[in-house]
Amino acid sequence: MSKPWDASYDVVVVGSGAGGLAAALTARLKGMSALVIEKTALFGGSSSLSGGAIWVPTNHYLMEAGLQDTWEQAQAYLNATVGDRVPKARREAYVKRGAEMVRYLHDNTEHVRFKYIPGYSDYYPEAPGGFPQGRSVEPLIFDLKKLGEERKKMRRANLPTYGIVMNAFEFHKVNMITRTWIGKKTSLKLGMRLIRSVVTGAKLSSLGEALIGRLRKSLMDVQGEVWVKTAFHDYVMDEGRVVGLIAERDGKLIRIEAKKGVILASGGFSHNQSMREQYLPHPTSERWTSASEGQTGDIIGASLKIGATLDLMDRVWGAPSAVPPGQLPYFLVAERALPNMMIVNSVGERYLNEAVPYHQFVDQMYKNDKPEARTTPSWIIIDRTTKSRYIFLGLFPGQPFPKKWFDNGFIKLGNTPAELAQAMGVPVEKLTATFERFNRDARQGKDTAFHRGDSAYDRYYGDPTYPNPNMAPLENGPFYAVQIYPGDIGTKGGIVTDEYARALDVKGEPIPGLFATGNCSAAVMGETYPGPGATLGPAMTFGYVAASFMAK
Instruction: Find the angle CA(227)-CA(213)-CA(211) to the nearest 5 degrees.
Output: 115
Q: Over the stretch 306-351, which tens digit does the pLDDT of each residue have?
A: 999 999 999 999 999 999 999 999 999 999 999 999 999 999 999 9
Residue 320 near residue 362, CB atoms below 8 Å: yes
Average pLDDT, the chain: 95
The stretch 166-182 carries a mean pLDDT of 82
Bridge partners, 242 (sequence order): 237
pLDDT surpassing 60 at residue 1: no
Q: Are 501 and 549 in contact (CB under 8 A)?
A: yes
Phi, psi angle pair for 266, to nearest 5°: -95, 10
Q: What is the mean pLDDT of residues 277-285?
A: 98
Residue 37 in contact with residue 255, Cβ under 8 Å? no
Question: First-to-last CA distance in the chain?
Answer: 30
Confidence of residue 175 (pLDDT cuts 50, 70, 90): confident
| pLDDT 10s digits, 481-518 | 999 999 999 999 999 999 999 999 999 999 999 999 99
Identify which has the larger pLDDT, 108 or 163.
Answer: 108
pLDDT of residue 160: 61
pTM, entire model:
0.96
Does residue 52 register a pLDDT over 90?
yes
The answer to whether 310 and 275 have CB atoms below 8 angstroms apart is no
What is the C-alpha to C-alpha distance for residues 464 and 482, in angstroms, rounded to an integer?
A: 25
Is residue 161's pLDDT more than 70? no
Q: 286 falls in which pLDDT band (50, 70, 90)?
A: very high
155-169, 383-397, 475-489: which has the minimum mean pLDDT?
155-169
